[in-house]
Amino acid sequence: MSASPYVELDRAAWAALAEHADQPLTATEVARVRGLGDELDLDEVRQVYLPLSELLSLYVRHTAALHRATEEFLRQPSADRTPFVIGIAGSVAVGKSTTARLLKELLSRWPQHPKVELVTTDGFLLPNAELAARGLLQRKGFPESYDRKALLRFVIDMKSGAEEVKAPLYSHLRYDVTDDYVVLHRPDIVLFEGLNVLQPARARSDGRRGLAVSDFFDFSVYVDAIATDIRRWYVERFLRLRETAFRQPESYFRRYADLSHDEAVARAESLWDAINGPNLSENIAPTRGRASLVLRKDADHSVRWIRLRKL
> Quick count: other Cβ atoms within 10 Å of Cβ 142?
17
Cβ–Cβ under 8 Å, residues 81 and 69: no
Strand pairing class (176-184; 165-171): antiparallel
pLDDT of residue 1 exceeding 80, the answer is no
Residue 202 domain-assigned (yes or no): yes
| pLDDT (0 to 100) of residue 139 | 96
Total tally of structural domains belonging to the chain = 1
Residue 1 domain-assigned (yes or no): no
Residue 166 domain-assigned (yes or no): yes
Distance of alpha carbon 197 from alpha carbon 175, whole angstroms: 20
Distance of alpha carbon 59 from alpha carbon 276, whole angstroms: 33
Residue spans of alpha helices (H) in 83-127: 96-107
Look up residue 203 and give its DSSP letter.
Answer: B
pLDDT tens for 42-100 read 999 999 999 999 999 999 999 999 988 988 898 887 667 899 999 999 999 999 999 99
Residue 82 domain-assigned (yes or no): yes
In this prediction the pTM is 0.95
CATH number for the domain harbouring residue 220: 3.40.50.300
pLDDT tens for 185-240 read 999 999 999 999 999 988 777 778 889 999 999 999 999 999 999 999 999 999 99
Distance of alpha carbon 187 from alpha carbon 86, whole angstroms: 12
| pLDDT (0 to 100) of residue 113 | 86
| Residue 112 belongs to domain spanning | 6-309
